[in-house]
Amino acid sequence: DGDKLACIRKIEVQIRDILSRCGYDFEMENRVQDRISSDAALDILRGVASVFCILLALIGLANVCTLTLSYTYKRRNICARLMAIGMTPAELHRSFYKEALSIIGPPVLLTILIVPALTFMMMKASYMDTGYGLSVIPVLPLLVFAAVIVTVVLISYRSSIKNILAGDLSEELKMP
């Protein structure tokens, strides 16, 4: 890019000299430099938007962890009652994982299914080549985001059920 810009500047100076000697009133634009500056500004804006999205995702994941772990003590009584009527720890684990999947499902499905669909719809609306959309859709960030959601929620629920089963649940069944 540096060699191209230097070459363009030399040509610009030569054209400016020729036109000014002939007495023409003119204005020159270096669109290549403008494009490079515009691309750099867009890269900065993408970076800021990415950091903002990551921050929102972290806040959401922290909220899931906090709520899951805070309800652990409230659920001890329910789990104690379920185990008293015959539910095994394995079945309790399974019910917690089913609940975790119900929490994971909507954001992951929205991320993986709707974002590419909306990208193609917007490209069609703007009369862009939809084949170009495959290279535009951020597949890797979407999959990483989905994997992080799944991992954090499953770890949160796993630690919650371990905390519940670690203690003596018979104390929870005693009436005050």
Binned average pLDDT, 10 residues per bin, the chain of 176 residues: 81 88 83 85 91 89 85 82 88 89 85 80 82 74 85 89 82 69
Helix, strand and coil in the chain, % to nearest 5: 85, 0, 15
Place of tokens 């917007």: 122
Closest by alpha carbon to 151, among 106, 99, 100? 100
Closest by alpha carbon to 24, among 15, 12, 36, 11? 15
Q: State residue 126's pLDDT score.
A: 83
CA gap 134, 103 in Å, rounded: 29
pTM exceeds 0.75: no
Residue 66: partners with Cβ closer than 8 Å, 6 or more residues away: none
